[in-house]
Amino acid sequence: MNLALPPCPLRRGAPPALPAGHLRWSRTLVQGRPAVYGEAGDGPPVLFLHGWGLGHHTYKRALARLALRGCRVLAPAMPGFGGTASLPDGSDIHAFGAWANAFLTAVGVDEPAVVIGHSFGGGVSITLAHDHPERVRQLVLVNSVGGAVWGRGDRQLSDRAPWQWAYEFAKEAWPPQKGARMILSAREDFFGNMLRNPRAMFNAGKLASEADLRTELAELKARHLPVVVLSGEHDGVIPLSAFDALCSALGIEGHVLPGNHSWLLADPDAFDEVMANVVELQSTLGKEA
């Protein structure tokens, strides 16, 4: 794996119990419009960009664990979600990347950040890294959009019918135990977004389904940006064919983990373990160099 967080101390074993409200919820202005975000921890900056329909509350258990590893974690609700103002009509996924760049300025981040993106947030992370390379130290793509293909790799994700997308998202609730955890994590943001701004939900969903970022990924490969790509072995939302296409564009081997599209919501301890292993491996390589 390529992710390095050398200033973050690695804490072996299970993280300590998390106090209630470990993430602090704040507001700021980004591009002159209101934005809402969560923040936790101190240390080198880590920007986390959420998936479609979700927001800054959904991942709080996983992100609190990451903050306990000695990083300043910033988790904004992206435009149109969680009370953050929408982007102008007609904005493409690169406009979300420009927004993320402006967000980092607004919260006073003046050094390259580790950027982690889940699902739609992965696509936004790619555009941020591509369009604003000075902002990104390392990139971690978790079940990310951008590979564009499905089936045997000969069909476009944008060709999927709406009922097929709905079916794949419905499968996220199985098995019931992990599905219940995922629903409990996502319910506050998802249902709030549906009621508050369904138009933004539709527009972002369309961008996610159409995102073909293989050209941008090839450019990141040429720049030698360190990238880690993760997927769940049972992810039907962003299938393994799209994951393979994304990895191929980057010229790297991705990592397939147990779980589905929302594995880090159902099992935040597994996310913490993955990040701990990544940090430990990079730390070891750094000592050997």
Q: Which of 38-47, 87-96, 280-289 has the lowest mean pLDDT?
A: 280-289
pLDDT at 61 over 90: no
Tell me the pLDDT band of 220, cut-offs 50, 70 and 90: very high
Q: What are the DSSP calls for 36-103, one per residue?
A: EEEEE--SSEEEEE--TT--TTTTHHHHHHHHTTT-EEEEEPPTTSTTPPPPPTT--HHHHHHHHHHH
160 in a domain, yes or no? yes
Where is mean pLDDT largest: 19-28, 36-45, 188-197?
36-45
Q: Average of pLDDT values for 112-122? A: 94
CB-based contact 104:78 (threshold 8 Å): no
- As a whole number of angstroms, the distance between CA 256 and CA 251 comes to 16
pLDDT at 150: 75
pLDDT at 183: 57
pLDDT at 120: 94
What pLDDT digit, counting tens, does each position of 230-268 carry?
Answer: 999 888 888 899 999 999 999 999 989 888 888 887 777
% pLDDT > 90, the chain = 45
pLDDT at 267: 78
pLDDT at 230: 93
Q: Which of 32-46, 143-157, 216-230 has the lowest mean pLDDT?
A: 143-157
125 in a domain, yes or no? yes
pLDDT at 51: 87
Structure tokens belonging to residue 146 = 């951008």
Structure tokens belonging to residue 31 = 């591009």
CB-based contact 200:106 (threshold 8 Å): no
29 in a domain, yes or no? yes
192 in a domain, yes or no? yes
Domain count, the chain: 1
pLDDT at 264: 81
pLDDT at 226: 92
Question: 149 is in which domain, residue-wise?
Answer: 24-288
114: which strand partners? 46, 138
3 in a domain, yes or no? no
95 in a domain, yes or no? yes
Where is mean pLDDT largest: 8-22, 90-104, 193-207?
90-104
104 in a domain, yes or no? yes
pLDDT at 59 over 70: yes
pLDDT at 3 over 60: no
210 in a domain, yes or no? yes
What pLDDT digit, counting tens, does each position of 149-205 carry?
Answer: 877 767 787 777 776 766 566 666 555 555 555 556 556 666 666 667 788 878 888
Say which CATH number the domain at 36 has. 3.40.50.1820
Matching residue, tokens 């955890």: 181
Matching residue, tokens 């920007």: 47
At residue 217, the 3 state secondary structure works out as helix
pLDDT at 21: 37
